[in-house]
């Protein structure tokens, strides 16, 4: 249902374009069917758009340091035959400046009752770039990711600090086809590795849920999930 509701956003964007012109979507990390069976969350509108005949193209953030975009989202796009390019994490702002991104869709690991979103590190920077360039920024989320006990994501959500070796080393396929790991930093340089960041609700165009699309605000979430709000009363 996240995909069904998200499809309406893509249909409206496609309707403003010339016939056959693609809708360019940027995503970050992996929120696909490898994580959420059959459709995924952020990828679900993409798959529904493909089935609906809307020409789409996906900008896939590499998502350093674990490279979930490069390894997982790219693999899913390949498997479904969806045109895409893998980009470095810092390329999104440049693409937005030059009109090459029509919207951003990301997933979330935890959403506050007021609409702040905690997702893979780098999501906040994409939201800032989108806001500065007038690009819609949507978050696709199943309602169980909403934590109704938390209001201020920046103040209340603890951010996991992962091992520094994920930053100083990169794993990948070697020329001989084997999977190997290489160090990319000098000996003696430690890595700092916050795994997530919080995107404030003011930067979010809307939340795409299984019940529909709502604004990222206490009022928007309360209207969409009145039963859940009452459960927390």
Active site residues: 109
* 112 three-class SS: strand
**C-alpha closest to that of 120 among 152, 79, 72:** 72
Contact (Cβ atoms closer than 8 angstroms) between residue 191 and residue 182: no
Query: DSSP string of 195-214?
Result: -EEEE-GGG-SEEEETTEEE
CA dihedral 170, 31, 54, 213 (to 10 degrees): -140
Contact (Cβ atoms closer than 8 angstroms) between residue 140 and residue 106: yes
For residue 152, CA distances in Å to 17, 147, 157, 169, 194 come to 38, 11, 8, 34, 19
For the beta carbon of residue 85, count every other beta carbon within 10 angstroms: 13
Contact (Cβ atoms closer than 8 angstroms) between residue 101 and residue 131: no
Nearby residues of 111 by Cβ (< 8 Å), 6 or more positions away: 117, 118, 139, 141, 145, 146, 147, 207
Give the integer Cα–Cα distance in Å for 157 and 198.
8
């Amino acid at each position: 249902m996240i995909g069904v509701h998200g499809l309406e956003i893509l249909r409206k964007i496609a309707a403003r374009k010339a016939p056959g012109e693609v809708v360019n979507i940027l995503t970050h990390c992996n929120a696909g069917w490898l994580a959420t069976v059959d459709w995924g969350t952020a990828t679900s509108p993409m798959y529904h758009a493909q089935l609906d005949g809307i020409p789409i193209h996906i900008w896939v953030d590499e998502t350093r340091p674990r490279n979930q975009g490069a390894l997982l989202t790219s693999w899913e796009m390949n498997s479904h035959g969806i045109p895409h390019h893998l980009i470095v994490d810092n390329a999104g702002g440049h693409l937005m400046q030059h009109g090459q991104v029509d919207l951003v869709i990301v997933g979330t690991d935890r959403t506050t009752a007021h609409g702040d979103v905690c997702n893979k590190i780098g999501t906040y920077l994409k939201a800032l770039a989108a806001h500065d360039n007038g690009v819609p920024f949507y978050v696709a989320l199943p309602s169980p990711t909403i934590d109704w006990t938390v209001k201020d994501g920046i103040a209340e959500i603890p951010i996991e600090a992962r091992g520094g070796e994920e930053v100083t080393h990169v794993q990948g396929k070697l020329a001989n086809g084997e999977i190997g790991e290489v160090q990319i930093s000098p000996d003696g340089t430690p890595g700092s590795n916050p795994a997530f960041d919080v995107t404030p609700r003011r930067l979010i165009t809307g939340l795409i849920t299984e019940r529909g699309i709502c604004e990222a605000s206490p009022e928007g979430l309360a209207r969409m999930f009145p039963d859940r709000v009452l459960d927390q009363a």
